[in-house]
Structure formats: C-alpha cells, structure tokens
Structure 1
Amino acid sequence: MSTPPYPDEIKGPAAVESGDDVPQYDGSSIDTIKALVHEDHQHEIKLRTMSWQKAAWLLAGDQVCLAIMAQTWSLSVLGWVPGIITMVAAGILFWITSMTMWKYIMKYPQIKDICDFGYYAFGRNRFAYEFSGFMLLANNILLIGFHILTGAKVLNTLSDHSLCTVVFSVIATLMGIVLSLPRTLRHVSFMSMFSAAFMAVAVLLFLIFAGIEDAPLYGYNGNYPTDGPVRTYAFPLPGTTWVNCMNAVLNITFLWVPQILFPTFIAEMERPQDFPKSLTVLTGISIFLFIVPPAIGFRYLGQYSTAPAFGSLGVDAYKKGSFAFVIVPTLIIGVIYANVSAKYIYFRIMGTSRHAHSNTVIGWGIWCAVMAGIWILGFIFAEVIPSMGDFLSLLGSAFDSFFGFIYFAVAYWHLYRGKLFAGTWRSVMTVVHVFVMAVGLFILGPGFYSAVKAIIDDYSAAT
C-alpha cells in the first residue's frame, strides 16, 4: 500500500489524453473511455457501471434535499423580484457550468474526481490537486455533519425530546456508517431513488399544511402575529441588512451548486458521454422543486418564514407529519458525500495494490475504517454548527465559489483558448464565463465575509 502518483503519472489507459485543445470529445476520447471501462471491469469490485438513468437518480438524490426548504426564507429576505431572479440565474449558470465541466472531463476522461479536475485545469499543478483534495474533504465532512445534525433534529422533533440531541446525533451517525458501506455509486443510486421520493413527499405535505392552517406559528421576528399579518413583498423590507441579503443569495447558490461531486459521478458511468442526459433530467426536476415550492411557501408564510420552512408551521402534528419524511434523504445524501470522500482517501491509501479493487479483508477493513472516521468527524462538526441558514451560507461562500464557478471558468478558458471570440455564440459564452468567474470571486470575498459575520452574530446572541 502506498500513496498513488498524481493523475498524469498513472500508467496504462488512465494516462492517455484525448488530443489537443479541442472542446469536443473525439475518437481518442472514446477509445480512452473504453480502455478505462475495460480495465475497471477486470477488477473484482467494478466502479464504472452506472447507466445514465442510474446517474440521473444519483444526481436527483443528491440535489433534492432539505436545502429546498431554506429557499422560502431566502425569498422572505430578498422579496419576489430579487429572489426569483436569483433562482433563475443560478439555474442557468448551473446548466452552463455543468456542461463546461463535462466537456472538460471528456477531454481528459481519466479524471476521476474534483481533485483530478483541479489538477488538470490549473496546468497539472500538484498544489491544485492537494488544495482540491482538502476542499473536497472539508466541504463533504461539514455537509455530513450538517446531515447528522438534521437527522438528530428530526428524531428530536418526532420524539418530543425524549432523548437529548447528542444521543440522536450518535444514532444518526451509526445509521450513516452502516448505509455507507456499499463501495459503488451504482448501489448508492438505488438508495437515491427513495431519498428523492421521500423528500418530495415531505415538500408536498409541507405545502398542503402551510396552505390549510390558519397562520404560521413561528418567525425569526417572533411568534404570529407579533410581526403583523402574513404578507409578501416584491423587494427586501426596510431594515433588511446587506449581510442578510447576501446570506439569502448564498442559500440559493448552495442549492444550485453540487458540482463538487459530479466528476466522481461521471467517472463511475459506463458511458460518460451520456452525462448530458442525466443532467437534463436533474435540471428539469430542479427548476420545478427549487422555485415552485419555495414560492408557495413564501405566499403562505411571508415574513414568518424560517430555514427550514417546517419550523414555521403552527400545528405540531403538521410539523411532525412533514418533517418525518426528511430522515431518509438526510441520511442518504450524507451517504453520497461520504462515498465520494471515502474514495478519495481510500485510493490514496491503497494506491494500485490488489486490495483497492478486490474483496479482501484488508481492503474492506480499511474502507470501513475510513468511512467510520469520516462520519465521526462529521459528528464532531455537527455539535458546533450554529444555524442551518448561516451554515449553508458559509458552505456556499467557502466552497461553491471554487467548485461552482471559478474552476469551470478556468476550464472554459482551457477548452477555447485561442478562439474565445470565434463567432457570435462563442463570444456570448465567453462573456458568460467571465461573469461566472466574477460571481465566484464575489461569493468568495464579500460572500464569505457576510456568512462569517452572520455566524458571529448568532453566537453573540446565544451567549
């Protein structure tokens, strides 16, 4: 067992490149993909086995998540006009950057995760590889911690606080470890079907309950009717701070930027060239779920919206009835992030040894140890997370700035350098990717400041 070399030092099919700087994948790319799939299928544990349909389920299972229920709060801060514009713009940029990412991976089919992507995008830079690895683990483990905390809160709510939150966090952690044992994403995609379905039921029940109850119960400005009758508004209310507005935007951004996982998903597809089909399915689902339910929620909760919106429901039975279904996606999404994280660590430990792809005691022992370590770290972070809204904002600014914008603007430049303005459409897309880079830098700078400031304010208010 040894630390594996960097991507361009790997011998065999994975070292083959797909030609010169052309944006479209060509015959050599397809040959490389076939060689990689053939090599993978010689192993006892086969990874490159997902169809585009299973990949679509995996994508949906990852992105149809509790963060949808934070979007009603974002609308309550921004108002209809800035809120909807931000949601639509985020969706458009998500599609564009995801396609750019896919085209770049088709140029270098040997890319197996976001770390390899960063390595190639920044000129085969080893620092970029290590930085991407650190960011991948930090982002994913923090998100696992968030899902542990959410799972504990769900169990707490359903049980009427019969046990303390820490005990429920331990239960959620143990359940997550057990569910994370499958090694391939093809198996995880099966669980993702149930994850997306349960989250959809939770959202539907919330909308029904919000519509039939007389009034919401709780809002950040006090219980109903402390802040007056429920109302909606086109623009932010007077007194809304820049920090609150920025955090609301970051909440929306976080929901639309899951691309940190996409290279790993693509690497486990049997035909990576079919990824746009999976992406189209995901985009269609996302456009509906990320805009329509939050808008309906804002209509009935108004300024009393919380993150997640379940907290605003006035009838306890309604809150429990809708919130109960969240436990399944909470755990399964944590499993997806754990799987991607564990693979990065596992293959760095195992290198090219036979244990890496075989059903050996050593291989499975190290896999289980790595997975347990990831969930335990997530549990530790779960105990220090302040609030859902501010936490999502922090993740959006610190990580999504790179893995949703900056990395893909750089990749676009590599794909089309020398012909960035070759024709009207290419010129338009070049301008769009310049905007993508500007958005990434803005989120990383002022966005990160506002997220940290909000968390500091939360801690100050709690003491």
Structure 2
Amino acid sequence: MATTVFAADDKHVDAHVGETSDNEVYDGASSVDTITALVAEDHKHDIKLRTMSWQKAAWLLAGDQVCLAIMAQSWSLSVLGWVPGIITMLVAGALFWITSLTMHKFIMKHPQIKDICDFGYYAFGRSRIAYEFTGVMLLANNILLIGFHVLTGAKVLNTLSDHSMCTVIFSVIAMIMGIVMSLPRTLRHVSFMSMFSAAAMAIAILLFLVFVGIEDAPLYGYGGDYPTLGPVRTYAFPLPGTTWVACMNAVLNITFLWVPQILFPTFISEMERPQDFPKALAVLAAISGILFIVPPAIGFRYLGQYSTAPAFGSLGVVVYKKASFAFVIVPTLVIGVIYANVSAKFVYGRIMGKSRHAHSNTVLGWGVWGAVMVAIWVIAFVFAEIIPSMGDFLSLLGAAFDSFFGFIFFAVAYWQLFRGKGFFTSSFRSLMTVVHIFVMICGLFLLGPGLYAAVEAIMADYAGATRPAFSCKNLSL
C-alpha cells in the first residue's frame, strides 16, 4: 500500500478533489504504490475505469488530435506566410511535448488526480478556488467544443446532401448520434471508436492531398473566387495589408490544434499504468509532427492565398470536396464524444460523490449518467445554433482557456515540482526552467493580446451579416 503520513487531526480532501490528506508525502516508490492501490480499489467496482493500456491511450490521443482543425492550418499559413507559420507550428509542437511531460511528472507526484480540475487544485497549492474556477473553464471549453462539432456535423450533412433539409434538423441528427455514442462510461471503450476516427480523418486528409494536387485551380478564397486574387502563389511572410488581428487569430488557430492537455489528466487517470503515458504521448507526438505540418504545407502550396478553413472548402471540383469531406463525419462525432465523456465524468462525480451508484451498474447510476450526457449535448446544440461564428469563438477559447490549460498551468506545476530543490542545479534543469518561464510568458500573451484579437474578430463578425439563431441557412462548403 502507499506510504502515507497523516497528522492526527488532518482533514481529508473532498472525494472529487482526491482522497488523501493535505500532509501526504510522495516519493517515486510511494507514488507507484499509490497507483497500485488506486487500481486495485477501482477493479473492485462493477464499472472499472482504470483499465486502459498505453496502446489504447495512444489510440485515444490520436482520435482526439487527428481532427478537422488540421485542415484549417493551410489558412493559418496563408495569413502568416511560410516563415512565421512554420516557426509557430514547430514552437507550439515543442512546447506541447515539454509541457505534457511536466504535466505527467506532476500527476505522478499526485496520482490521485482524476481530471484537469484536480490538477489545478494541486498546482495552485490545494486551492478550492482554483478547483472551482478550473471546473467552470472545463465545462465552458468542452461544451462549446462539442457545440462546434455539432455544427460541423450539420455542415458535413449539408455538403453531402446539397442542403436537402433545414440545417437545424441536421444539427439535431448530429446531436442524437453524439448522445448515443457517448453512453459508454469508460474511455477504454471510447478508445476503440478513436481508432476508426483517426483512420477516417487520415483518409479525408489523403483524399484532399490527392485532389488538391490534380485539380487545375482552387474554387475560391476569402478574398474572392479564383482567379480574382491572381494566380496561386505562396510567400514567406504575411502579405501587405494583413492585420495584426488576422495574424493573431492564425496563431491562435495553430495553438488550438496543439493544446489538448485539458483532457490528458482524465486519460491518465483511466490508465492501468499511468507511468506508461509518455509512451502514448510519443506516439501522438510522432503522428502530430507529421500531420500538423505536412498536409497544411502541401495545401498552402497548391491553394496559396485561396486557402480557407477548412481547406476542403477551397477545392474547385464539387465531387472532390464531397468525397474527402464525407469522412470528416466520423472524427467530428467521436471527438465530441471524448469531450462529452470528460465533461460528464466531472459533473457526474459532483452529483454522485462516493456513493455506490458512482461505480456500480445501478438504475439510478446509469439514469443520472444518461441525463448528464443528454444535458451536455443539448446545451452544446443550443450554443451551436445561437453563436453566429463558431470559428471566432474557438479563437476566443484558444485565448481564454488554452492560455491556462496549455501554458500557465504547466509553468506553475513546474514551479511546484522543483520549488525548494533548485531551478538551476544542472544545465538541463536550467534549460527547462528557462523554457517554462517562456511557457508562462506565452500563456500570458495569449491571455492578453490574444484575447483582445479574438474579441476584435467577433465584434467584426457581429458588425456584418450574421447567421440568425436556429437558422435553416445552408452551411455547405
């Protein structure tokens, strides 16, 4: 069992923020012992959560990350140009790897962490305020993202059917499919779906690359139909007249793709051996390093200033567009399921606490789980219908939430890990300290100027024609 030291009068932390004393002492061996005890306790229940191998975790990570946002990166390159765009991608990838390892080290020190809210609780000195604040951000971020996937599902169905029905009906269809697919309680089951999700998105990307290479010219860009903006061309730096707000939103678009860590603590908490998470992370890093840079670069090469987000919209031949975009329906639903599962577990844990219904096959337990899941998808559906531009709101999410969940949280966690042990005791530790200072600066920059740019973009959209709430408007690419 875990090596644990308790003061006689210690008060235990609430069940949903860990089950250990404030004075619990961890070292490498005791952390492994704690994990063993947590797994053994979990396996006594009817519904066993801590069952994922690192291979299944890798599939889950790939299913979450191999997503439609990859196809928005050609647009980011068209705004920033080759040099700033590729540099931003490489820096974002390097910081993603480093901060994810820092997060894992911190969780290994506190293996009772179940989600990003617990992570915030411990990172900010066992602060209840940090826990509740992180909980609000978790739900806001995830529900808006689920709403984005509901809207994307409607966009796919619109495109494939040539807008044969009202868009709201397509959104309802996507929502119902999402609810049904979200019923499994464990991420191990969701990881099985993720295999098909990643494969479907890979096929969509491959078809896009083939089609964009063989077609004569793109269809259109945000500046006009081809050849309004002249022959397709690429450029090293932003074109003259490109605004700072446009550049900042392109950076946020890249950042949004590289910052999925809000889900990672929940993934790790359902692994049978959380210490193996770096293996799954290495698989994801290899996949991401290729897919996040190579397809967008090829897309920019052939679309140039006509790049749209997603890049499928710039394909000039309608049948090419439909053939490649059709496969996006699978990752759209599965990624929504992943975010819904993490969100529902947080809410469900707050409702059920440590009762037997929380981990047993009871009518009440499954009834509450189903009700929570339906509520999450319905709220997401409402957001999808009332927000005129989900793309701009994703930039807002990137600035407001990814600044914390991709940067600030992990800089603070690094400080907690090595506080009192020396931040410059070796050349490697010194380098990591400087990197994490830079991580904190990046987080604060996204939270400040980045948030300003996102709000400016939303205001500009509202100033023009906007999509009415619950509109039947055609959203086809």
How far off its partner does 1:423 sit?
Answer: 1.3
Correspondent of 2:20 among 15, 26, 29? 15
Match runs of 1:123-142 below 5 Å: 123-142=125-144
Q: 1:449 maps to what in 2?
A: 452
Give a deviation string over 1:171-229, Cα, whole Å, max 9, x none: 00000000000000000000000000000000111111111100001100000001111
Aligned AA (2:428): W
Q: 2: CA distance between counterparts of 1:86 and 1:428? A: 20
Q: 1:7 to 1:276 in 2, by over 3 A?
A: farther
Q: 2: CA distance between counterparts of 1:313 and 1:319? A: 6
CA contact under 8 A between 1:18 and 1:32: conserved in structure 2?
no
Match runs of 1:147-162 below 5 Å: 147-162=149-164
Q: 2:345 maps to what in 1?
A: 343
- The reply on whether 1:433 has 2:454 as its aligned counterpart is no
Q: 1:214 to 1:356 in 2, by over 3 A?
A: same
**Structure 1 residue ranges, 4+ long, deviating more than 3 angstroms after superposition:** 9-14, 16-21, 385-389
Correspondent of 1:241 among 238, 243, 246? 243
Q: 2: CA distance between counterparts of 1:20 and 1:422? A: 23
Q: 2: CA distance between counterparts of 1:11 and 1:364? A: 19
Give a deviation string over 1:100-130, Cα, whole Å, max 9, x none: 0000000000000000000000011001000
Q: 2:183 maps to what in 1?
A: 181
Q: 1:261 to 1:304 in 2, by over 3 A?
A: same
CA contact under 8 A between 1:72 and 1:297: conserved in structure 2?
yes
CA contact under 8 A between 2:16 and 2:349: conserved in structure 1?
no
Correspondent of 2:67 among 65, 68, 72? 65
Q: 2: CA distance between counterparts of 1:90 and 1:398? A: 17
CA contact under 8 A between 1:308 and 1:388: conserved in structure 2?
no
- The reply on whether 1:356 has 2:361 as its aligned counterpart is no
CA contact under 8 A between 1:18 and 1:26: conserved in structure 2?
no
Q: 1: CA distance between counterparts of 2:165 and 2:17? A: 54
- The reply on whether 1:83 has 2:88 as its aligned counterpart is no
Give a deviation string over 1:133-167, Cα, whole Å, max 9, x none: 00000000000000000000000000000101111
Q: 1: CA distance between counterparts of 2:190 and 2:201? A: 16
Q: 1:458 maps to what in 2?
A: 461
SS in 2 for 1:383: helix
Give a deviation string over 1:224-260, Cα, whole Å, max 9, x none: 0011110000000000000000000000000000000
How far off its partner does 1:427 sit?
Answer: 0.9
Q: 1: CA distance between counterparts of 2:294 and 2:390? A: 21
How far off its partner does 1:387 sit?
Answer: 3.5
Q: 2: CA distance between counterparts of 1:219 and 1:183? A: 42
Q: 2: CA distance between counterparts of 1:117 and 1:195? A: 28
Give a deviation string over 1:287-335, Cα, whole Å, max 9, x none: 0000000000000000000001111111110110000000000000000
How far off its partner does 1:452 sit?
Answer: 1.2
Aligned AA (1:451): A
CA contact under 8 A between 1:221 and 1:227: conserved in structure 2?
yes
Aligned AA (2:433): T
Q: 1:324 to 1:408 in 2, by over 3 A?
A: same
Q: 2:423 maps to what in 1?
A: 420
Q: 2:403 maps to what in 1?
A: 401
SS in 1 for 2:196: helix
Q: 1:3 maps to what in 2?
A: none
Aligned AA (2:450): G
Match runs of 1:94-173 below 5 Å: 94-173=96-175
Provide the identity percentage: 78
CA contact under 8 A between 1:17 and 1:108: conserved in structure 2?
no
CA contact under 8 A between 1:140 and 1:337: conserved in structure 2?
yes
CA contact under 8 A between 1:206 and 1:310: conserved in structure 2?
yes
Q: 1:270 to 1:332 in 2, by over 3 A?
A: same
How far off its partner does 1:424 sit?
Answer: 1.2
Q: 1: CA distance between counterparts of 2:458 and 2:71? A: 20
CA contact under 8 A between 1:386 and 1:455: conserved in structure 2?
no
Q: 2: CA distance between counterparts of 1:7 and 1:195? A: 41
Aligned AA (2:210): I
Q: 1: CA distance between counterparts of 2:148 and 2:14? A: 36
Q: 2: CA distance between counterparts of 1:426 and 1:124? A: 25
Match runs of 1:198-347 below 5 Å: 198-347=200-349
Give a deviation string over 1:258-306, Cα, whole Å, max 9, x none: 0000000000000000000000000000000000000000000000000
How far off its partner does 1:389 sit?
Answer: 3.9
How many equivalent pairs are there? Answer: 455
CA contact under 8 A between 1:17 and 1:29: conserved in structure 2?
no
Q: 2: CA distance between counterparts of 1:378 and 1:340? A: 14
Q: 1:387 to 1:299 in 2, by over 3 A?
A: farther
Q: 2:52 maps to what in 1?
A: 50
Instruction: Provide the TM-score with structure 1 as the length reference.
Output: 0.96
Q: 1: CA distance between counterparts of 2:197 and 2:387? A: 23
Q: 2: CA distance between counterparts of 1:164 and 1:257? A: 34
Q: 2: CA distance between counterparts of 1:187 and 1:262? A: 16
SS in 2 for 1:15: coil
How far off its partner does 1:19 sit?
Answer: 6.5
Give a deviation string over 1:386-421, Cα, whole Å, max 9, x none: 345423311110110000000000000000112111
Q: 1:34 to 1:14 in 2, by over 3 A?
A: farther
Instruction: Provide the TM-score with structure 2 as the length reference.
Output: 0.93
How far off its partner does 1:20 sit?
Answer: 5.1
- Can you give the 5+ residue segments of structure 1 that lack an aligned partner in the other structure? 1-5
Aligned AA (1:274): D
